[in-house]
Amino acid sequence: MKKIFISIVLVVFGAIICGCDKQLTTHDATKVDSSTFTTSTAGLNQVLTATYKAFLMGAGESQTGASYQGVSGFLMYYDMMGSDVTVNEWYGASPEPIYEFKPSRREAASGASNIWSKMYNIINMSNIIVDAAPETSGSDSEKNALIGQAKAMRAFAYFHLIMNYQQTYAMAKDKRGVILRLHPDDDPNLGFSTVGQCYDQIVADLQDAETKLSGFNRSEKWEVDASVAAGMLARVYQVMGNWSGAYAEAKKVYDKYGTLMSKEQWCSGMDHLMEDGCSELVWGVKYTNLSNVSSNTVFNNWYNFDPSYGEGLNDGPMYHFLDIFVDDSYVKLFEGDNTDYRGTKCDKTEGVTDEDEMNVMFWHRSANALHDRVNAKWAYNKLKSYGDGTYEQHTNGNHVYGISVPMMRGSEMLLIMAEAAAHEPGLGNALQLLNTLQNARQVKEPTSGVSGADLLEAIYVERRKELLGEGVTGSYDLLRLQRPLVRYGASAANNYAGHFPWGLTEMDGYNGADSQPQGTIPSNDYRFLCQIPQMEIANNEAVSSSDQNPIKGQ
């Protein structure tokens, strides 16, 4: 008989978090009997913290797996498959093969199993809590908090599984989805549910999580409370096209986190929003030198540390992969607006200093001329860190930690409300909602006089301007909106600030000899998705190769 995933239920007890749980540090607990953890709420809280460890941080990934590292990995993963970032390929960091649409996510490759195994690990640990909590000793409020957090994490895991292993809900509701494993002792030979059934379960879990967490007051920003569950559900409804649901859930969050960040907070690099008490930060996690994340945060991959540090991986306050730039077409979204501080730039192409770039968003690394016109690309200061010390304290080789990563903000909820109201005007004034954000960001000419498709397009563009690097643009939006991906290569036409050539070779229509090379991936194409891992097909008697996703095509 084929066996799969049963061992994951036991592995959780080798990853239990003990002591210092506010730092999410790990200790060995492989010798502890599982009954110790499932008979009381105190024990299940240790399982919960282990689940958070997997949920927020993955499993201490190497640099090749940073984009698969729990929730924080998704902040890079989806953007890498969009048009707004261009990614270097020097040091083997995980954004590179994702950006390039390489075969690393085919059934026999590690990319195919990365999201699959990690999400099912979270699901299995959550299932332990959901099943065991009702019968444990402890108060009802303790049990509700456990079950609510576990169900929210399970829903999140299923949401990202279904988005990465099948086409979007609007066109694939009745297609093969993923495997709904809802109990730790489920038969390992379970078949696939439909996309629609998977979304039904996700919605049910998040609705129940909201209810059960209504009386839960979290002590740390990384914990999932009712607001985070509502924000997750707003995203799910947005993908499903349930606009009244999306509006209602987003509004719950925005009503609490709707004081939008100031210009100073936006331009701070966003690495200390938790410590700064940012009023629109709904959900975030602080990574430290105790959290086993090492150099794998999103901040380590953006190539934006100050030029005075140098141009090497070990220069500056953090270890840097020198990978991610913004594409020239993204910078052009702000063209003609000299007041929107999200789009400020330094046009100098020689001798750029710290003073030149520290007060803008876009700039050129003019000291770097190593290859492929890296010095022509646009560095982007939105996600930038000086670590947990002062600027003056950082010297070459003295790397620091203390990075706070934002995972959900009030501005995203505002834009979900605007999009929902644009689809269903009875929900609210979509243009007014959009203008609320634009005014906060000091947009020179806020959108006016538009409706219908033009208003929706303005909202989509605003999502790109506001949320790039936060895991909800890129292929995330292209998939749910069923839009094609178009990239323009670096050329004289864009001052060589376009995409690297390796970012176009797996796309359709690319010819490097063209005066303006470009590549396209059609909407709904399976190149955006992963294949079902070979391990699942080989070991699960209820599935077969006929269930497999194609490599490409619609």
Beta bridge partners of 378: 326, 364
Helix, strand, coil distribution of the chain in percent, nearest 5 = 45, 10, 45
What's the pTM value of the predicted model, to 2 decimals?
0.92
pLDDT at residue 5 greater than cutoff 70: no
Compute the mean pLDDT over every residue in the chain, rounded to the nearest whole number: 88
Task: Please write the tens of the pLDDT for every residue from 536-549.
Answer: 999 999 999 999 99
> What is the predicted pLDDT for the residue at 392?
53
Place 154 in a pLDDT band, splitting at 50, 70 and 90: very high
Structure tokens at 24: 């999410």
- Measured distance CA(554)–CA(540) in Å, rounded: 26
Residues in the chain: 554
How large is the average pLDDT for residues 102-109?
Answer: 80
Instruction: Output the DSSP codes for 407-476.
Output: EEEHHHHHHHHHHHHHHSGGG--HHHHHHHHHHHTT-SS---S--HHHHHHHHHHHHHHHHTTTTSSTHH
State the sign of the Cα–Cα–Cα–Cα dihedral 364, 368, 369, 373.
Answer: negative
How large is the average pLDDT for residues 192-207?
Answer: 98
CA 488-97-539 angle, 5° bins: 135
CB atoms within 10 A of CB 85: 27
Greater confidence (171 vs 315) lies with: 171
Structure tokens at 326: 């913004």
pLDDT at residue 201 greater than cutoff 80: yes
Nearest by Cα to 55 from 47, 270, 63: 47
User: In Å, how far are 58, 201, 550 from 546, measured between CA atoms?
Assistant: 30, 24, 10
How large is the average pLDDT for residues 279-301?
Answer: 81
Structure tokens at 113: 């199993």
Question: Over pLDDT 70: what percentage of the chain?
Answer: 88
Task: Please write the tens of the pLDDT for every residue from 219-263.
Answer: 999 999 999 999 999 999 999 999 999 999 999 999 999 999 999
> What is the predicted pLDDT for the residue at 4?
34
Task: Please write the tens of the pLDDT for every residue from 404-442.
Answer: 899 999 999 999 999 999 999 999 999 999 999 999 999
pLDDT at residue 99 greater than cutoff 80: yes
Task: Please write the tens of the pLDDT for every residue from 280-289.
Answer: 999 999 887 6
DSSP 499: B
pLDDT at residue 190 greater than cutoff 70: yes
CB atoms within 10 A of CB 200: 13
CB atoms within 10 A of CB 465: 20
- Measured distance CA(260)–CA(280) in Å, rounded: 5
> What is the predicted pLDDT for the residue at 387?
60
> What is the predicted pLDDT for the residue at 311?
87
> What is the predicted pLDDT for the residue at 27?
30
Burial of 103 (0-12, 13-18, 19+ CB in 10 A): middle
Task: Please write the tens of the pLDDT for every residue from 361-409.
Answer: 999 999 976 666 889 999 999 999 876 555 455 444 456 667 889 999 9
Place 68 in a pLDDT band, splitting at 50, 70 and 90: confident
- Measured distance CA(165)–CA(117) in Å, rounded: 13
Task: Please write the tens of the pLDDT for every residue from 488-498.
Answer: 999 999 999 99
DSSP 143: H
Beta bridge partners of 137: 40
> What is the predicted pLDDT for the residue at 22?
40
Beta bridge partners of 270: 384
Rg of the Cα trace of the chain? 23
User: How do beta strands 518-521 and 403-409 pair?
Assistant: unpaired
Instruction: Output the DSSP codes for 243-277.
Output: HHHHHHHHHHHHHHH-SPPPHHHHTTTBSSTTTTT
How large is the average pLDDT for residues 51-71?
Answer: 78
pLDDT at residue 346 greater than cutoff 60: yes
Task: Please write the tens of the pLDDT for every residue from 33-43.
Answer: 455 577 888 88
> What is the predicted pLDDT for the residue at 446?
98
